[in-house]
Amino acid sequence: MALVPSPSVDNEPLFAEVNMGGESSTITVRATVVQASTVFYDTPATLDKAERLLAEAASYGTQLAVFPEAFIGGYPRGSTFGVTIGNRTAKGRDEFRKYHASAIEVPGPEVDRLAAMAGKYKVYLVMGVIERDGYTLYCTVLFFDSQGQYLGKHRKVMPTALERVIWGFGDGSTIPVFETPIGKIGAAICWENRMPLLRTALYAKGVEIYCAPTADSRDVWQASMIHIALEGGCFVLSANQFCRRKDYPPPPKYVFAGMEDDPSPETVVCSGGSVIISPSGSVLAGPNYDGEALISADLDLEEVVRAKFDFDVVGHYSRPEILSLIVQDNPMSPVCFTSPSPSMKAESSKR
């Protein structure tokens, strides 16, 4: 692993790229996982930061960039939103109001800007966002191609622990795998990567580049990523934020719960651990726990075929007459109208 030298002072990068190249191959993809912090409660500034990072990655020849979970909108680490069993506080409701305001609508102007970034820098982009759909928020991954087209999204199907207080649940209609010239790309977010049936659904769709945006910086996360690469015979790209206390608003505006004293500004509250792993389980780049970084590797897609020769969990290593999976992949709506919506009927009654 080597650090790419910094350009001249006039174009000084935000930080050096961590680079691990592979051997040349007939089908090679330059991929980067972005390890950086949100500008919390400031979505326009976060979008500006995302563009600077994407431009820098593109300058190193990146064809695919994967950003962390909830990069746009923010991961509210340490916050309780004033919730205890049987009670919510007025302050917690107002925290949610601010968090709701930082989220983005899909489609929407922020999505248009991300698409324009992908097209401008000719990079496939996988971006973790907090999606606002009415008054419910979802932890979502957005996919864009290198021509600046929005491809689609994946909503986290199972938020973890207190995340369930602030995020809704995705359904089976947003578990896509996109076939692109650089490979078949899909994603699962954080601990839903530990759900065997969700992984199997992605494998059945032929995922080759498995993106795993996360908020888990523990050492044990690496074991999960290596296992998924081996199990799925796919490349695994896991991107996490690297955050210090100063990356969040200061107290009392933002308080880290469960600590006797608020951390000092320089305290690391999420140490990253972003990593790229091959289908054989080899670590190609990372994990990085040192700070914000661009972590890159060259992916030889022919490695997928070699790995599947050993183990194809939805092919020659399956036993469907014994074990099978049914995925309910239709959109699930809590309310369905058999006639035009009430608002449309009200408008027609005025005529």
Which residues are the active-site residues?
A: 69, 156, 190
CB 32 within 8 A of CB 54: no
Q: Are 146 and 58 in contact (CB under 8 A)?
A: no
Q: Which residues contact 17 (CB under 8 A, 6 or more apart)?
A: 3, 4, 32, 56, 57, 60, 293, 294, 295, 296
Burial class (CB in 10 A: 0-12, 13-18, 19+), 185: buried
DSSP result, 163-223: HHHHB----GGG--EEEETTEEEEE--GGGGG-HHHHHHHHHTT-SEEE--BS--STHHHH
Check if the beta carbon of residue 89 is closer than 8 Å to that of residue 75.
no
CA–CA distance, 311 with 232 (Å, rounded to integer): 8
Instruction: Evaluate whether 132 touches 104 at the Cβ level (below 8 Å).
Output: yes
Residue partners of 82: CB distance under 8 A and separation at least 6: 88, 89, 90, 91, 92, 93, 95
214: phi then psi, degrees, rounded to nearest 5:
-150, 170
Phi, psi of 270 (to 5 degrees): -150, 120
- The residue assigned the tokens 């692109």 is 180
Q: Are 76 and 269 in contact (CB under 8 A)?
A: no
